[in-house]
């Protein structure tokens, strides 16, 4: 039921006008005060925050594992991965389940899921790589939508494992 | 006949027969005069041939056919069993094995005719009885001389539509023949032979009618011959030859059909419009047959569309009794569920019998699990059966006399484990044969019997299955290993000096380590033992070696009975729940804090004469222990081989059966967590791998 609620929330949000040409749908999430976009094609599911089991001796950003319909799924904090403050779990906190080809499914924790936007090619500006800025490494483009900027997350670098 | 549906059975049985042949020929080699063995071999070869023929695998059939001829001569006492003959036969078995593998992968036997082997087989035959054998090799002697008035096809009663079809065909200038096929009297699978004749003839023309009917022929309801009337564009000789090429057909006769001579012939006017197309008429005449060839066609086409793909799923043959037990348990489970449902209804009315029912449900599910596990269990026989043959070949190759003694082949293991265990065992056996056993001279010097012994023993030990590979050879030369390790830079001489023999032997399991002075065909590439160990560890097992220089070595493999569901002890550490496999737990102790001693600054306890190191799980897992310093400790004593350790936990929940879930590829840093499980309330608990802690 939890999942159904959130998914119907989501579809309610997605009454966006379709743009012509190459368009990609992004789910806009909030982390702190900033907005980030996640390519909807990589999203398997969005679930509410739930009881998590800690795993010892793993990097701090790996928050633990959850039970998602009988499967054990690792959950990571992109806040910690990006060097932000630790997550504070609130009512709006969600786990976004990403489907990755190599590693299987992984959950990431976001402060809030806001809406679904459709961005055309002309609304996306590729980022130039800046090695000094650690945070920028996780973003590969910026999308413009209703006079707001959305940082588009580079999922491969976020989910890339740090070899400790 | 659509044979694709029988492919799995065919493969299963072929493998069984091949294994049987391997075993029996080995026995024959040891005891050439044993009539029982020879008969058994003959039977196996014969069934194999029949099966291959029925399935339409001609090359396989030819080879088995010639093998069978040799066996038949042996059985009749015309040939004495020679070592060279045994070698040829083994090579034949290898070739058959190849065919089988090819069929398994692509439903096609491949294109290797194995001419040299067939030639060798025929040479064996020729040696004995010259020309006579030549004939035996081709028993499908073809003769197209009609034998007197043996024109049985004229006895067939044709109905109007058939007569019409025949007349129509004659009108179109096609040939109509009557064919009589006589099957050899010794032929066991008459129906299969007949089917092949039907198939061969159908390729050249159309069968109008057969006597007995196609269905009866298929059901083997005929004596030793059957008669066909066919319409064909080919010449009579070609048709007779096609039919005669099927093995175990002793005679094929034929002649053009003279319609006037047939039994209830009466002239029918052939009207153009009423004449049914030939195929349609044939359909009604022999519906069974036609049906089958139609079915066979798409099946063939399908096979060709997917070349290279394995066509067969892995199967487990299950004892019917095991399934019966399973079925009973499932029905009990349903009853238990129903009583639970009704108990909940009564609960509302204030009656509480629910605990009783839950206990019942629990006992049923436990038994259900046990029997499902049993269904998955197969005896290791299927794997170890190929080893006697391997040792025989090795014995020849290495020029060492050796004998393999096996016991406990009936020990059962999970199918997944059985499939994987073959290679490691083979490595260990080869090791024993090559490195372990000494050459004949050395054995003589040491006063050992000339024939070296290798033992393969399997037995169940609690929740584990133990497989031991033992030899009475040289044992492991720890000095040689030590020197090699130093030479390779694996250890320093100083380290080596302080190492116990046992630790030195363990060096053998390191990658790229081989003490064989020469790299041989058999072993010594240094890829053996580390592969053995990693494979066995991937099966959650362990391998140990005990060795005494000059006396022999014993390799012990310990494997869990099953992989998916295990019995565990649930413990609490710092508020978190962890599962420890019951298989590795020896005892649980209550230890007072003052019993803890320090040895080399490490905490140990002294328990019934053994010093056991303590591992405080709260420290290992980075959590705060919920217990105070003064409280007694709960210590779970775990063992791996003969190593012990005491795990300090906060609390115990109890024994629980858990289903192992993978943590996924994403989390791999954590060595001592072997997986996770989902508890009854949906919470995820981690499984502690006690083996990794030791």
CA B63, distance to chain mean position in Å, is 22
User: Comparing A38 with B657, which gets the higher pLDDT?
Assistant: A38
A62 close to B (CB below 8 A): yes
Q: HEC string of B430-462?
A: HHHHHHHCCCHHHHHHCCCCCCEEEEEEEEEEC
A53 close to B (CB below 8 A): yes
Helix H or strand E encompassing A22: none
Cα–Cα distance for residue pair B126/B137, rounded to 1 Å:
10
Contact (CB<8Å) A55/B684:
no
- Residue B621 Cα, gap to closest chain A Cα (Å): 5
Strand pairing report for A104-110 and A71-77: parallel
Residue of chain A minimizing CA distance to B675 = A72
Confidence at residue B161, expressed as pLDDT on a 0 to 100 scale: 74
Contact by Cβ (8 Å): B691, B585: no
Residue of chain A minimizing CA distance to B670 = A57
The question of whether B46 is a catalytic residue gets the answer: yes
CATH number corresponding to B380-560: 3.30.565.10
Whose structure tokens read 């008459």?
Answer: B190
Q: Would you say domain B565-693 falls under CATH 3.40.50.1400?
A: no
Confidence at residue A161, expressed as pLDDT on a 0 to 100 scale: 63
Mean pLDDT, residues B316-334 taken together:
76
Whose structure tokens read 């020029």?
Answer: B399
- Residue-wise pLDDT for B353-379, tens only, equals 677 777 778 788 778 877 777 777 788
Confidence at residue A65, expressed as pLDDT on a 0 to 100 scale: 92
- Residue A57 Cα, gap to closest chain B Cα (Å): 6
Q: Quick check: B25 pLDDT over 60? A: yes
Confidence at residue B150, expressed as pLDDT on a 0 to 100 scale: 58
Residue in B62, B431, B474, B691 annotated catalytic: B431
- What are the residue ranges spanned by the domains of chain A? 2-159
How confident is residue B234, by pLDDT bands cut at 50, 70 and 90? confident
A119 close to B (CB below 8 A): no
Cα–Cα distance for residue pair B218/B433, rounded to 1 Å:
51
Confidence at residue A135, expressed as pLDDT on a 0 to 100 scale: 56
Residue of chain B minimizing CA distance to A62 = B667
In the stretch 568-627 of chain B, residues with CB closer than 8 A to chain A read: 576, 620-623
A37 close to B (CB below 8 A): no
- Residue-wise pLDDT for A89-119, tens only, equals 888 899 999 988 777 789 999 999 999 999 8
CA distances from B186 to B54, B70, B214, B228 (A): 17, 16, 22, 22
* Chain length of chain A: 164
Q: Quick check: B108 pLDDT over 70? A: yes
- Residue-wise pLDDT for B119-174, tens only, equals 888 887 777 654 443 444 444 333 443 444 456 667 777 777 777 777 777 777 77
* Chain length of chain B: 694
Strand pairing report for A148-153 and A139-145: antiparallel
Contact by Cβ (8 Å): B354, B344: yes
Name the nearest CA neighbour of A146 among A10, A28, A23.
Answer: A28
Mean pLDDT, residues B381-396 taken together:
86
Q: Quick check: A12 pLDDT over 90? A: no
Mean pLDDT, residues B196-208 taken together:
77
Confidence at residue B587, expressed as pLDDT on a 0 to 100 scale: 93
Name the nearest CA neighbour of B234 among B256, B264, B266.
Answer: B256
Facing residue for B684 by CB, picked from A67, A104, A164:
A67
For the question of an ipTM over 0.90, the answer is: no
Q: What is the DSSP letter of B270?
A: -
Name the nearest CA neighbour of B433 among B478, B470, B481, B381.
Answer: B470
Helix H or strand E encompassing B197: helix B190-204
**In this structure, what are the phi and psi dihedrals at residue B253, rounded to the nearest 5 degrees?**
-120, 155
Confidence at residue A133, expressed as pLDDT on a 0 to 100 scale: 56
Q: B202: Cβ–Cβ under 8 A, 6 or more apart, which residues? A: B289, B293
User: Comparing B305 with B619, which gets the higher pLDDT?
Assistant: B619
Alpha carbons within 13 angstroms on the beta-carbon side of residue B205 total 26
Cα–Cα distance for residue pair A109/A46, rounded to 1 Å:
10
A108 close to B (CB below 8 A): no
To the nearest 10 degrees (0 to 180), the angle between helices B115-129 and B58-75 is 20
Mean pLDDT of chain B: 76
Cis, bond preceding B649 (omega within 30 deg of 0): no
Lookup: tokens for A9 = 């929330």
Helix %, strand %, coil % of chain B (to 5): 50, 20, 30
User: Comparing B464 with B644, which gets the higher pLDDT?
Assistant: B644
Name the nearest CA neighbour of A72 among B197, B677, B455.
Answer: B677
Contact (CB<8Å) B678/A70:
yes
Contact by Cβ (8 Å): B255, B151: yes
Name the nearest CA neighbour of B646 among B658, B635, B633, B655.
Answer: B635
User: Comparing B178 with B163, which gets the higher pLDDT?
Assistant: B178
The backbone region for A157, taken as left when phi is positive above 0, alpha when psi lies in -120 to 50, beta otherwise, is: alpha
B683 close to A (CB below 8 A): yes
Cα–Cα distance for residue pair B536/B527, rounded to 1 Å:
15
User: Comparing B609 with B56, which gets the higher pLDDT?
Assistant: B609
Q: Quick check: B281 pLDDT over 50? A: no
CA B107, distance to chain mean position in Å, is 17
DSSP B311-343: ---------HHHHHHHHHHHHHHHHHHHHHHHH
Q: Quick check: B2 pLDDT over 70? A: no
**In this structure, what are the phi and psi dihedrals at residue B79, rounded to the nearest 5 degrees?**
-120, 135
SS3 B263: coil
- Residue-wise pLDDT for B111-126, tens only, equals 777 788 888 888 877 7
Q: Quick check: A34 pLDDT over 80? A: yes
CATH pick for B4-137 out of 1.10.10.410, 1.20.120.160, 3.20.20.10, 3.20.20.70 = 1.20.120.160
CATH architecture of B152-303: 2-Layer Sandwich (3.30)
User: Comparing B592 with B72, which gets the higher pLDDT?
Assistant: B592
Cα–Cα distance for residue pair A83/A155, rounded to 1 Å:
16
How confident is residue B299, by pLDDT bands cut at 50, 70 and 90? very low
Mean pLDDT, residues B452-466 taken together:
85
- Residue A46 Cα, gap to closest chain B Cα (Å): 18
Contact by Cβ (8 Å): B46, B413: no
- Per DSSP, what are the bridge partners of residue A25? A118
Confidence at residue B4, expressed as pLDDT on a 0 to 100 scale: 67
Cα–Cα distance for residue pair A77/A72, rounded to 1 Å:
17
Q: In what order do the strands lie in the sheet with B576-581?
A: B651-659, B565-573, B576-581, B684-688, B673-678
- Residue-wise pLDDT for B56-105, tens only, equals 888 888 888 888 888 888 877 777 777 888 888 888 888 888 888 888 88
How confident is residue B351, by pLDDT bands cut at 50, 70 and 90? low
Contact by Cβ (8 Å): B433, B391: yes
Cα–Cα distance for residue pair B214/B115, rounded to 1 Å:
35
Whose structure tokens read 């044709």?
Answer: B158
Confidence at residue B651, expressed as pLDDT on a 0 to 100 scale: 92
Cα–Cα distance for residue pair B246/B197, rounded to 1 Å:
6
Residue of chain A minimizing CA distance to B683 = A67
Q: Quick check: B277 pLDDT over 50? A: no
A69 close to B (CB below 8 A): no
Residue of A65, A76, A106, A162 to mutate for B, most B C-beta atoms under 10 A: A65
Confidence at residue B379, expressed as pLDDT on a 0 to 100 scale: 84
A134 close to B (CB below 8 A): no
Cα–Cα distance for residue pair B194/B54, rounded to 1 Å:
10
Name the nearest CA neighbour of B72 among B92, B45, B96, B32.
Answer: B45
Q: B486: Cβ–Cβ under 8 A, 6 or more apart, which residues? A: B492, B493, B496
Residue of chain B minimizing CA distance to A102 = B665
Contact by Cβ (8 Å): B434, B516: yes
Confidence at residue B255, expressed as pLDDT on a 0 to 100 scale: 78
Q: What is the DSSP letter of B525?
A: S
Q: Indicate the range of B63-77, B237-251, B403-417, B444-458 predicted with least confidence.
A: B237-251
Residue in B17, B20, B46, B412 annotated catalytic: B46
- Residue-wise pLDDT for A132-152, tens only, equals 555 557 888 888 888 888 888
Q: B461: Cβ–Cβ under 8 A, 6 or more apart, which residues? A: B558
DSSP B462-514: TTEEEEEEEESS----HHHHHHHHHHHTSS-HHHHHT--HHHHHHGGGSTT--
User: Comparing B632 with B149, which gets the higher pLDDT?
Assistant: B632
Mean pLDDT, residues A67-74 taken together:
83
CATH number corresponding to A2-159: 2.40.50.180
Confidence at residue B518, expressed as pLDDT on a 0 to 100 scale: 47
């Amino acid at each position: 039921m939890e999942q159904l609620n959130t998914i119907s929330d989501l579809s309610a949000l997605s009454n966006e006008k379709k743009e012509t040409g190459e368009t990609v749908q992004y789910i806009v999430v909030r982390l702190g005060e900033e907005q980030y976009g996640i390519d909807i094609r990589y999203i398997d599911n969005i679930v509410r925050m739930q009881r998590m089991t800690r795993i010892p001796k793993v990097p701090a950003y790996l928050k633990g594992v959850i039970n998602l319909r009988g499967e054990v799924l690792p959950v990571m904090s992109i806040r910690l991965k990006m060097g932000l403050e630790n997550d504070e779990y609130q009512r709006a906190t969600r786990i976004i389940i990403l489907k990755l080809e190599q590693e299987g499914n992984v959950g990431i924790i976001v402060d809030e899921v806001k809406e679904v936007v459709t961005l055309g090619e002309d609304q996306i500006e590729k980022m130039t790589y800046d090695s000094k800025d650690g945070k920028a490494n996780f973003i590969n483009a910026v999308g413009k939508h209703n006079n707001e900027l959305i940082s588009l997350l580079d999922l491969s670098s976020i989910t890339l494992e740090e070899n400790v | 006949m659509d044979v694709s549906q029988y492919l799995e059975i065919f493969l299963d049985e072929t493998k069984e027969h091949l294994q049987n042949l391997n075993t029996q020929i080995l026995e024959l080699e040891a005891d050439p005069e044993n009539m029982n063995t020879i008969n058994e071999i003959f039977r196996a070869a014969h069934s194999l041939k029949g099966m291959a023929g029925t399935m339409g695998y001609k090359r396989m059939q030819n080879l088995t056919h010639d093998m069978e001829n040799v066996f038949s001569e042996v059985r009749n006492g015309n040939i004495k069993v020679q070592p060279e003959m045994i070698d040829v036969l083994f090579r034949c078995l290898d070739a058959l094995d190849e065919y089988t593998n090819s069929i398994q992968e692509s439903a096609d036997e491949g294109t290797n005719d194995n001419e040299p082997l067939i030639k060798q087989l025929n040479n064996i035959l020729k040696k004995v009885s010259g020309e006579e054998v030549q004939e035996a090799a081709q028993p499908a002697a073809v003769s197209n001389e009609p034998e007197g008035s043996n024109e049985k096809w004229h006895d067939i009663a044709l109905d109007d539509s058939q007569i019409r079809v025949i007349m129509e065909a004659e009108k179109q200038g096609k040939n109509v023949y009557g064919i009589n096929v006589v099957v050899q009297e010794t032929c066991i699978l008459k129906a299969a032979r007949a089917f092949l004749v039907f198939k061969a003839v159908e390729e050249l023309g159309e069968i109008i009618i057969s006597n007995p009917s196609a269905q009866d022929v298929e059901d083997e309801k005929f004596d030793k011959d059957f008669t066909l009337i066919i319409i064909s564009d080919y010449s009579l000789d070609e048709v007779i030859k096609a039919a005669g090429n099927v093995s175990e057909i002793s005679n094929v006769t034929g002649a053009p059909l003279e319609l006037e001579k047939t039994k209830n012939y009466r002239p029918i006017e052939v009207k153009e419009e009423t004449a049914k197309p030939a195929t349609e008429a044939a359909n009604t005449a022999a519906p069974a047959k036609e049906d089958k060839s139609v079915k066979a066609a798409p099946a063939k086409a399908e096979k060709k569309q997917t070349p290279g793909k394995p066509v067969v799923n892995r199967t487990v043959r299950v004892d019917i009794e095991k399934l019966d037990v399973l079925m009973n348990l499932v029905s009990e489970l349903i009853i238990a569920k129903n009583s639970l449902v009704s108990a909940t209804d009564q609960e509302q009315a204030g009656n509480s019998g629910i605990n009783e029912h839950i206990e019942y449900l629990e006992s049923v599910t436990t038994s259900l699990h046990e029997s499902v596990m049993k269904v998955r269990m197969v005896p290791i026989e299927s794997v170890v059966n190929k080893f006697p043959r391997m040792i025989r070949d090795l014995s020849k190759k290495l020029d060492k006399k050796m004998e393999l003694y096996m016991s406990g082949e009936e020990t059962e293991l999970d199918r997944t484990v059985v499939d994987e265990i073959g290679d490691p065992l083979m490595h260990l056996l080869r090791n024993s044969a090559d490195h372990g056993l000494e050459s004949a001279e050395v054995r003589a010097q040491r006063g050992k019997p000339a024939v070296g012994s290798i033992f393969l023993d399997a037995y169940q030990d609690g929740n584990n299955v133990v497989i031991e590979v033992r030899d009475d050879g040289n044992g492991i030369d720890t000095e040689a290993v030590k020197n090699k390790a130093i030479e390779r830079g694996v250890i320093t001489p100083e380290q080596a000096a302080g190492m116990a023999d046992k630790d030195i032997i363990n060096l053998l399991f390191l990658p790229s380590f081989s003490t064989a002075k020469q790299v041989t065909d058999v072993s010594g590439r240094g890829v053996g033992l580390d592969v053995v160990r990693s494979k066995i560890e991937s099966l959650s097992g362990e391998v140990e070696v005990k060795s005494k220089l000059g006396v022999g070595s014993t390799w012990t493999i310990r494997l869990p009975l099953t992989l998916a569901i295990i019995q565990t002890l649930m413990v609490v550490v710092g508020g978190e729940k962890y599962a420890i496999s019951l298989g590795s737990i020896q005892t649980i102790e209550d230890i007072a804090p003052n019993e803890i001693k320090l040895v080399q600054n490490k905490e140990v306890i002294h328990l019934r004469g053994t010093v056991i190191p303590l591992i405080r799980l709260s420290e290992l897992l980075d959590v705060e222990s919920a217990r105070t310093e003064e409280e007694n400790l709960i210590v779970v004593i775990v063992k791996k081989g003969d190593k012990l350790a005491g795990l300090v936990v906060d609390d115990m929940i109890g024994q629980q059966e858990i289903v192992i879930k993978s943590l996924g590829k994403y989390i791999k840093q954590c060595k001592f967590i072997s997986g996770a499980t989902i508890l009854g309330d949906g919470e995820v608990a981690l499984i502690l791998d006690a083996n990794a802690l030791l």
